[in-house]
Structure 1
Amino acid sequence: MTPGPRNLITDVPGLLVGNAQDETLKSGTTVLTAANSFTASVHVMGGAPGTRETDLLAPDKSVSRVDAIVLSGGSAFGLDACSGVSDALRADGRGFQVGSAVVPIVPGAILFDLLNGGAKDWDQNPYRALGQLAFQNASDQFDLGSAGAGTGALAAMHKGGLGSASLVLDSGIIVGALVAANPMGSVTTPGDRHFWAAPFEIEGEFGGLGPDSSSGLGRNVASRKASAMRPAQADKANTTIAIVATDADLSKPQCQRLAVAAHDGIARAIVPAHTPGDGDLVFGVSAGNQPLKTEADLGLLGHAASLCLARAIARAIYLATPALGDLLPCWSDGHDFR
């Protein structure tokens, strides 16, 4: 397995990603879409998710194809970004046909960034407009780090962000991940230098410092985020939301299995993960027609998706950039924050 030419989820042919953000708000939205609808499902492992249309993605529900997926900041307010994307899709005449009506299918998930220091005193919910703009910005190239849904994200010890990564399997099938990382847990080991995901890094994509050689790791759960907020608030100000996608021809149940396996990537890159205060969620997407030969091939796809997601999370934090009023340092600011 090797990274695709962009090392982005848009290495999966046909997929496009758009970002929109407001620096004063310290928040934003990211949209995944394509020229045609695609098969999708979802799996939630966090205890505090915020979602739209995810029930529809269960394997037993009737609609299997969607027109876009939204990742957004803004907590419950951010779900309105899906409405902005729906507006843009409807204007393009895209959606689920019901008689003469066309209904765009736009699932979404949000992270909590309302206490990150940005101006949240709006008179009108800004996320509908951000969703529409993100859709209009959709391209096969997009920014990582402090962009889109990752603009105001915070991990336990550093500023969070938007990340992506890809792998091309020996069969030629492509897998990619897109993530907005705002976890309760830390993405680095104690000392802030080494990423938990370091064993899975490829070609220095998030610093090339290698794994932490210490033993007994995982027992220190210090959090600058908790110190910057009241602890009772910090317990609720989290979530890692992601999409994993492939050009393999998967059914809706197989997309869900892809999403389930990809959660391993969250656990490899964030400690602790899947807590009651996180809304950790992964969408699984099939946007191609590459055939799978055996059930073992699906297992390999899930493994590749988990590797992509772990790397994408580390890249999100590695590429975050500082802004006025930040509560936490960026990893790139240096390694001695104590």
Structure 2
Amino acid sequence: MTPGFKNLITDVPGLKVGNAQDDALKSGTTVLTADKPFVASVHVMGGAPGTRETDLLAPDKSVDRVDAIALSGGSAFGLDACSGVSDAMRTEGRGFQVGQAIVPIIPGAILFDLLNGGDKNWIENPYRALGSAAYLSASQHFDLGTAGAGVGALSAMQKGGLGSASLVLENGTMVGALVAANPLGSVTTPGDRHFWAAPFEIGNEFGGLGSDPASGLGRVQASRKAAAMHKAPPDQGNTTIAIVATDAALSKPQCHRLAVAAHDGIARAIVPAHTPGDGDLVFGISTVARRVDEGALTMIGHAASICLARAIARAVYLASPSAGDLLPCWSAVHDLS
């Protein structure tokens, strides 16, 4: 398995991603869409999710395909980003046809970034406009790090961010991941230099420093994020939200299994993960472009978990400093030039 040409989820043919952000707000939105509706499901393993239209993605529910997925900051306010995407898609005549009505199907998930130092004294909820802008900017190339839904993200020890990665399987199947990493846990080992996901790094995509040689790892460190966000309990204000995608022709139940398998990537890249104070969830999607053997789902799910672990590390590695940051960026502390 090797990364795709861009090492982004958009290496999966037909997918596009757009970002929109407000630097004063210290928040933003990321939207994934495609040339045509795609099969989608979801699996939630965190104890504090914030979602829209995810019940519809259960394998036994009637709608088989969706038009876009929105990942957003803003906690519950950020769910309005889905409305902005819906507005823009309806204008284009895209959506689920019900008689003469057109209803875009836009599931979404949010992370908590309301206490990250940005100006949150809005009069009108800004996330509807951010959702629309993110959708309209969607393309095969998009920024990582402090971008889109990752603008206001924080991990336990340093800034979080938006990450992505991809892999091509031996049979040509493409798999990719997109993540907004804002976890309660740490993405780096004690000392903040090495990434938990280092065993899965390919090349120097997040510094090439290798695994931490220390033993006794896994002990939870005192969280800088919890100290900086002193107005919130330490087990609140978190979440890692992700999308894993493939061009393999998967059914809705198989997309659910894809999402389940991909959660291993969160556990490999964040310690601790899937806590009561995280809303960790993964959307699993298929563009249904490539026929695969019945047993291919095992390797596709494995590849998705590796992509997601790498994407989480890349999100933190590529984060950039901004005015008023509560936490430092990994890159500001570890200059590899």
Same fold (TM over 0.5): yes
Instruction: In structure 2, list runs of 5 or more residues that go unmatched.
Output: none
Q: Name 2:254's counterpart in structure 1.
A: 254
1:41 matched to 2:22? The reply is: no
Cα distance between partner residues in 2 of 1:231 and 1:278: 17
Q: Name 1:208's counterpart in structure 2.
A: 208
> What are the equivalent positions in structure 2 for 1:130-149 lying under 5 Å apart?
130-149=130-149
Q: Name 2:325's counterpart in structure 1.
A: 326
Extract structure 1 runs of 4+ deviating beyond 4 A.
none
Structure 1 counterpart SS, 2:24:
coil
Cα distance between partner residues in 2 of 1:137 and 1:124: 22
Mapped contact 1:13–1:288 kept (Cα < 8 A):
no
Structure 1 counterpart SS, 2:79:
helix
Mapped contact 2:220–2:271 kept (Cα < 8 A):
no
Cα distance between partner residues in 2 of 1:85 and 1:50: 17
Letter aligned with residue 255 of structure 1: C
1:35 Cα offset (Å): 1.6
Q: Name 1:7's counterpart in structure 2.
A: 7
1:266 Cα offset (Å): 0.1
Mapped contact 2:157–2:224 kept (Cα < 8 A):
yes
Cα distance between partner residues in 2 of 1:166 and 1:231: 38
Q: Name 2:75's counterpart in structure 1.
A: 75
Letter aligned with residue 107 of structure 1: P
> What are the equivalent positions in structure 2 for 1:139-288 lying under 5 Å apart?
139-230=139-230, 232-288=232-288
Q: Write out per-residue CA displacement over residues 165-194 of structure 1, whole angstroms, 9 at most, x where no aligned residue.
A: 000000000000000000000000000000
Cα distance between partner residues in 2 of 1:325 and 1:23: 10
Q: Name 2:316's counterpart in structure 1.
A: 317
Cα distance between partner residues in 2 of 1:116 and 1:195: 23
Cα distance between partner residues in 2 of 1:229 and 1:248: 42
CA separation of 1:221 and 1:17: change in aligned 2, threshold 3 A: same
CA separation of 1:214 and 1:231: change in aligned 2, threshold 3 A: farther
Mapped contact 1:28–1:151 kept (Cα < 8 A):
yes
Letter aligned with residue 140 of structure 2: D
Q: Write out per-residue CA displacement over residues 281-338 of structure 1, whole angstroms, 9 at most, x where no aligned residue.
A: 000000132112132x1010000000000000000000000000000000001149xx
Cα distance between partner residues in 2 of 1:118 and 1:308: 31
Cα RMSD (Å): 1.0
Between 1:114-123 and 1:212-221, the stretch displaced more is: 212-221
Aligned length: 335
Mapped contact 2:220–2:272 kept (Cα < 8 A):
no
Tell me the TM-score normalised to structure 1 length. Answer: 0.98
Structure 1 counterpart SS, 2:300:
helix
Cα distance between partner residues in 2 of 1:118 and 1:55: 32
1:231 Cα offset (Å): 7.3
Structure 2 counterpart SS, 1:125:
coil
Letter aligned with residue 86 of structure 1: S
1:216 Cα offset (Å): 1.0
Cα distance between partner residues in 1 of 2:88 and 2:35: 13
Cα distance between partner residues in 2 of 1:277 and 1:292: 38
Tell me the TM-score normalised to structure 2 length. Answer: 0.98
1:232 Cα offset (Å): 4.4
Letter aligned with residue 93 of structure 1: G
1:230 Cα offset (Å): 2.1
Letter aligned with residue 251 of structure 1: S
Cα distance between partner residues in 2 of 1:29 and 1:220: 30
Cα distance between partner residues in 1 of 2:262 and 2:196: 16
1:234 Cα offset (Å): 3.2
Structure 2 counterpart SS, 1:48:
coil
Structure 1 counterpart SS, 2:16:
strand
Cα distance between partner residues in 1 of 2:224 and 2:334: 14
Letter aligned with residue 133 of structure 1: A
Mapped contact 1:37–1:66 kept (Cα < 8 A):
yes
Instruction: In structure 1, list runs of 5 or more residues that go unmatched.
Output: none
Letter aligned with residue 17 of structure 1: V
Cα distance between partner residues in 1 of 2:233 and 2:325: 17
Mapped contact 1:191–1:335 kept (Cα < 8 A):
no
Q: Name 1:86's counterpart in structure 2.
A: 86
Cα distance between partner residues in 2 of 1:304 and 1:199: 14
1:229 Cα offset (Å): 1.8
Structure 2 counterpart SS, 1:268:
helix
Cα distance between partner residues in 1 of 2:221 and 2:278: 15
Q: Write out per-residue CA displacement over residues 197-239 of structure 1, whole angstroms, 9 at most, x where no aligned residue.
A: 0000001100000000111101133210011122743321100
Cα distance between partner residues in 2 of 1:234 and 1:179: 22
Structure 1 counterpart SS, 2:310:
helix
Letter aligned with residue 87 of structure 2: D
